[in-house]
Structure 1
């Protein structure tokens, strides 16, 4: 039996998503359907699928409401391969734009919105050119695997960083090394983290700091999606890694250049520790209807 699914296509710095509304939590998609939707030749084409569902109508939403009763909407996110993901930094900005467009939420110029995710509640506010999402506390995982990638001459050490989902950041020597990587192939991590990780390859700009803002370039292989034009949480992990390597005196403001554009990262102190926030554009591209088997 087939059914029609109304959807919206959205993107943030080229990281693109299929979004649909299911406030009552009654539309359960299978991994096969998600893979078909994300297929760039036979489907809509996307790096992931996001369902707008009320937290009260989803088992995973109970923890979000317990953390913050204002988190009435939950970002239910799947990677392009049909696997579930904890968080998506570009996705949560696009999701916020979708909630506003659909009339599900309001976001005053000086206000914020709380959104439930599997990584916890995240707050989003308006910023110049888009939205800024507070991704919460970050941490070094202590798991720093050796990373092999196609066209990378020798394995390189990676730095494990958790920003609600797992990342491994690898420093490269120059732009040529970054350009020569073939990220159509999944990088190999040794040891391989349980549950996998997103892998970012980064080259610091020269100069690294300009007008008190750090600058880096990054490419990414996302767990469950492959190489994408941008990864929001990956941009945050990249900025945090370079800031960590730079040591005392490194700035708290960063610009991360990805193939799909530029993202901002801001590190700041909060009552529960050091937080990282991600800023950037979010665009709703078109609406459509899919007939799903």
Structure 2
């Protein structure tokens, strides 16, 4: 039987999502459902699905519920595949919870369950800020082949709860000349794939204590997007690593969809990476799933 569900369309710096409220975990969204909903010609259109579900209502959220998170972000890529985390998506997810009155941010951080663990979100000058937690620099380079950059380039592996490969380019002309309609080839290929970020440092790299870079991204299971929150964090972390110990802990990252902020403070004795930026809800409606 077809089922009619409510939805809201939202985005974070142009990285757009179809938000499906399912607090009791009653919906069974197949990969095909997700792909059709995200299709920009035959569906609503989006880079992914954010299913809003109580953590205690689904098996994947039980651990988050035990840790005190009421809500779980069931994030799915546009092709239907499950993803560990989404830095833009979680801000949009929290904006939705606050706007519909299912959560509050006035009393401190809000804990949200994800497949990459529990993340906390607070308000910030740019909108919302999410603590992505500690990160990991993967050993060894990955060779990246992409249409428009000529010879293959080495990429640095950064894990911020999901996998990324960051590639430095020499100038903005090469960044603009990239053809990201074609999937970049990675050698060796990560077992579970990876998002691939191409970055160009600003000149000067640091101004008033803040580092600045520009980035484009090919997202695993989606293609090129206007923004990728975890990719922005990974790109800033990679450039900071390349720049050496004198590099700043605060960064401004420009993507095609806007500007995001990244910080690397010490939290409980270890370095965390925090991402800040806007979250916008565009419209709501109903859709029938065949």
- Shorter-chain-normalised TM-score: which range? over 0.9
Q: Structure 1 residue 268 and structure 2 residue 245: aligned?
A: no
The DSSP-based 3-state class of the residue aligned with 2:260 is strand
C-alpha distance 41-137 of structure 1, shift in aligned 2 (>3 A): same
Structure 1: gaps of 5 or more residues: none
Q: Distance between the aligned counterparts of 2:2 and 2:24, measured in 1?
A: 20
Written as runs of structure 1 = structure 2, the 5 A alignment for 1:179-258 is: 179-258=176-255
* 1:189-236 alpha-carbon deviations (Å, 9 max, x no partner): 000001000000000000000010000000000001100000000000
Is the Cα contact below 8 Å between 1:138 and 1:161 reproduced in 2? Answer: yes
Q: 2:23: which partner in 1?
A: 23
1:24 is displaced (CA, Å) by 0.8
- What displacement does 1:164 show? 0.3
User: Could you tell me how far 1:65 is from its partner in structure 2?
Assistant: 2.5
Distance 1:156 1:175 in 2: 16
Instruction: Please name the residue that 2:2 is paired with.
Output: 2
Identify the match of residue 95 of structure 1 among 93, 98, 122.
93
- After TM superposition, the score normalised by the length of structure 2 is 0.99
| Separation in 2, partners of 1:95, 1:143 | 35
After TM superposition, list the pairs within 5 Å mapping 1:1-293 onto structure 2. Answer: 1-66=1-66, 68-69=67-68, 71-108=69-106, 111-271=108-268, 273-293=270-290
Structure 2, gaps ≥5 residues long: none
| Deviation per residue, 1:158-217 (Å, 9 max, x gap) | 000000000000000100100000011110000000100000000000000001000000
SS in 1 for 2:133: strand
Query: Which SS does the other structure have where 1:93 is aligned?
Result: helix
Q: With the length of structure 1 as denominator, give the TM-score of the two structures.
A: 0.98
Cα distance in 2 for partners of 1:141, 1:53 equals 32
> Which secondary structure state, in structure 1, belongs to the residue aligned with residue 282 of structure 2?
strand
Give the Cα separation in 1 of the matches to 2:28 and 2:15: 23
What RMSD, in angstroms, separates the aligned Cα atoms of the two structures? 0.9
Measure, in 2, the Cα distance between the counterparts of 1:144 and 1:21. Answer: 41
Q: Distance in 1 between matches of 2:123 and 2:141?
A: 35
